[in-house]
Amino acid sequence: MADITLRVNGTTRTGSPEARKTLADFLRDDLNLTGTHVGCEHGVCGACTVILDGRAVRSCLMLAVQAAGREVTTIEGLAPDGEHGGHEGLGTLQQAMWDSHSFQCGFCTPGFVMQATAFLGDHPDADEQQIREALSGNICRCTGYQSIIDGVLLAAQRNRTLRNREPLSEERP
Amino acid sequence: MLAGGQSLIPLLALRLARPAVLIDINGIDELSGVSAIDGRVVIGAMTREYVAEESGTVADTVPLLAAALPLIGHEAIRSRGTIGGSLAHADPAAELPAVARALDAEFVVRGLSGERVIPAAEWFEGYLTTSRRPDELLVEVRFPAAEDDTGVSFHEVARRHGDFAIVGLATSLVLSGGVISDARLALTGVSDVPVRAAAAEELLAGERPSTELFDEAARRATADLDPPGDLHGSPGYRKTVAAAVVRRGLRAAADNAAKGSN
């Protein structure tokens, strides 16, 4: 056992995981953040993807103790629940994926959303081919991927519209 | 020894590796970094793959390495995976071992008996096996800087972007006045170690690039291969794919050299 302190979704959290425990199991079992899903448990399916200090990582391929002092974002950190438990709090990507019917059973969803969040953060103007490659490490057994790609493309498009709208009104004479 | 953990943690999860003690070297800052020294690029063993991928020094000085890095695993794997970890793991299907073999990289290991430098030709001993002794740690890898007029390519055939390739090829050509003055080819996925195509390299040196030349190089590069078969491809299929990859890789590297774009 080792005492660790880390930031999770903007909040300081502490824990005493066994040295052998993965970050995925620590998030789920110790912090009760069960939105991070554990699929293959050996780094192939991508369901457990979280964001560590700004980069997508597989939380099943990291030990919890290695996250000490780091900043972790899980699916729970992307958008807080709405007041009435609805989807008022969805972010742009989540809403776009909702609108595109990007999910069926939902098991792979947190991993896709986290990977896409990290990717769009670095590549806001990504095209379809780039998005396909970025998401190629995440496995979905239901959708056939097309609706997931559509959702991420729609989010990129909406972000562009938002970006273009804001600065132009101030910069133009 | 735990570096990026992208190969070791799966082995632990599957109980294929059951070490009594696991030493995490992630906290050792001096094992990370990219620097250009005396015509070489020195990369610390703990340097994450994404850091090397984003490095201007790597892009400018070791273009073959820069070409291979984006092909490793997936983005989330490169966030954690390390240069030294991949080379010490020595999977013959992986990209970096072929790059190191093609460029004659040097491996610096340190142990209780001091430091020694191991050439790539002696580093890879077999499947997941290197000449590093159990009491030694890989601390850095040195890649020679590419000459002017170098053209490179990393070509691979995989079922899905990011998967281990069925066959891959690291190619580096130097074109001097339209003539190939140096040719380096290393194949992945055709043996238990990355394989230099020495017979093809000899053929290419001193010749001008042409389709006929590259066809003959592909024949020579694959003539003595005896690749393994598995559910991704039979030995015969791998051999056929290897020949195609050699032709394409040489054409791409020659075109890049002629354009002066690496």
Instruction: Write out chain B residues lying below 8 Å of A129, CB-based.
Output: none
Picking from B94, B126, B144, the residue at the C-terminal end of a domain is B144
End residue of a domain, out of A32, A51, A77: A77
Asked if the model's pLDDT at residue A113 lies above 80, the reply is: yes
Predicted local distance difference test score (pLDDT) of residue A173: 47
Task: Report CB contact under 8 Å: A61, B14.
Answer: no
Same-domain status, B119 and B192: no
Does B11 reside within a domain?
A: no
> Which of B80, B82, B86 has the highest number of chain A CBs within 10 A, making it the mutation to test binding with A?
B80
Q: What is the DSSP string of chain B?
A: -BSS-TTHHHHHHTTS---S---B-TT-GGG--EEEETTEEEEETT-BHHHHHT-HHHHHH-HHHHHHGGGSS-HHHHHH-BHHHHHHHT-TTSHHHHHHHHHT-EEEEEETTEEEEEEHHHHEEETTEES--TTEEEEEEEEEPPPTTEEEEEEEE-SSTTSPPSEEEEEEEEEETTEEEEEEEEEESSSSS-EE-HHHHHHHTT----HHHHHHHHHHHHHT-----BTTB-HHHHHHHHHHHHHHHHHHHHHHHHHT--
Q: Is residue B105 part of a domain?
A: yes
A-chain residue closest to B163, CA distance: A137
CATH number of the structural domain spanning residue A101? 1.10.150.120
Provide the shortest C-alpha distance from residue A161 to chain B (in Å).
27
User: Which residues lie below 8 Å from residue A44, measured CB to CB, with a gap of 6+?
Assistant: A139, B10
Q: Is the pLDDT assigned to residue A88 strictly greater than 90? A: no
Distance from CA of A98 to the nearest CA of B (A): 24
Model confidence band, residue B159 (pLDDT cutoffs 50, 70, 90)? confident
Highest-confidence segment of B36-40, B117-121, B258-262: B117-121
Q: Which domain-ending residue is among A26, A46, A77?
A: A77
B211, B66, B258, B188: CA torsion to nearest 10 = -20
Chains A and B: how many Cβ contacts under 8 Å? 68
Q: Is the pLDDT of residue A25 over 70?
A: yes
Per-residue confidence (pLDDT) for residue A156, from 0 to 100: 94
Structure tokens at B240: 């056929």
Residue A149 lies in a domain: yes
The domain of A33 spans 4-77
Question: How many domains does one find in chain B?
Answer: 2
Range with lowest mean pLDDT among A11-15, A78-82, B72-76, B213-217 = A78-82
CATH number at residue A35: 3.10.20.30
Same domain, A119 and A142: yes
Of A22, A49, A137, the CB nearest to B162: A137
**Residue B130 within any structural domain of the chain:** yes
Interchain contact, A115 vs B76, CB within 8 Å = yes
Q: What are the angstrom distances between the C-alpha of A79 and each of A89, A109, A114, A142, B171? A: 5, 14, 12, 24, 46
Flag whether pLDDT at B32 surpasses 90.
yes
B133 and B163 both lie in a single domain: no
Do residues A156 and A110 both lie within one domain? Answer: yes
Q: What pLDDT shows up at residue A42?
A: 94
Residues B235, B157, single domain; the answer is yes
Mean pLDDT over each residue of chain B, to the nearest integer = 95
CB contact under 8 A, B73 and A55: no
Supply B10's token pair.
């799966």
Q: Name the residue in chain B with its Cα closest to that of A53.
A: B79
* Residue B232, in any domain of the structure: yes
The answer to whether A22 faces chain B, any CB pair under 8 Å, is: yes
List pLDDT tens digits, range B108-158.
999 999 999 999 999 999 999 999 999 999 999 999 999 999 999 999 998
Q: If 0-12 CB within 10 Å is exposed, 13-18 middle and 19+ buried, where does residue B36 land?
A: middle
Please check the confidence at residue A170 and state whether its pLDDT lies above 70. no
A71 in the same domain as A117:
no
| Assigned domain for A32 exists | yes
Q: B176 and B108, same structural domain? A: no
Give yes or no for A69 touching B (CB within 8 A): no
State the CB neighbour count (10 A cutoff) for residue B37: 9
pLDDT digits (tens, 9 = 90+) for B79-113: 999 999 999 999 999 999 999 999 999 999 999 99
Q: Is residue A83 part of a domain?
A: no
Same domain, B86 and B133: yes
Cβ-based contacts of A58 with chain B (< 8 Å):
6, 76-77, 80
Residue B99 resides in a domain = yes
Q: Which residue of A has its CA nearest to B74?
A: A137
Tell me the two tokens of residue B152.
């490179």
Model pLDDT, residue B259: 85
Tell me the average pLDDT across A10-38. 97
More confident residue, A12 or A125: A12
CA distance B246 to B167: 10
| Pick from A41, A56, A62: CB nearest B5 | A62
Chain B interface disruption, residue of A18, A45, A61, A108, most B CBs within 10 A: A61
Residues B140, B179, single domain; the answer is no
In order of A43, A127, B155, B167, the CA distances from B189 in angstroms are 21, 31, 12, 5
Q: Which CATH number do you get for residue B36? A: 3.30.465.10
Task: Based on the fold, state whether residues B193 and B96 are members of the same structural domain.
Answer: no
B107 and B165 in one domain? no
Indicate whether A66 belongs to any domain. yes
* A58 lies within 8 A of chain B by CB: yes
| Of the candidate ranges A49-63, A119-133, B81-95, B158-172, the one whose mean pLDDT is the lowest | B158-172
Which of B103, B127, B144 is the endpoint of a domain? B144
Q: How far is the CA of B6 from the CAs of A69, A110, B21, B82, in angstroms?
A: 21, 20, 18, 9
- Boundary of a domain, candidates B120, B144, B168: B144
Looking at the structure, tell me whether residues B173 and B205 fall in a common domain.
Answer: yes
Domain span at B197: 150-259
Confidence check: pLDDT of A91 > 90? no
pLDDT at A43: 93
User: What CATH code is carried by the domain that includes residue B219?
Assistant: 3.30.390.50
Task: Please check whether residue B16 lies inside any domain of the structure.
Answer: no
Q: Which residues contact B244 (CB under 8 A, 6 or more apart)?
A: B157, B218
Mutate to test the interface with A, among B51, B79, B82, B161 (most CBs of A within 10 A): B79
Task: Let me know whether A8 and A73 are in one domain.
Answer: yes
Q: Are B169 and B206 in the same domain?
A: yes
Number of domains in chain A: 2
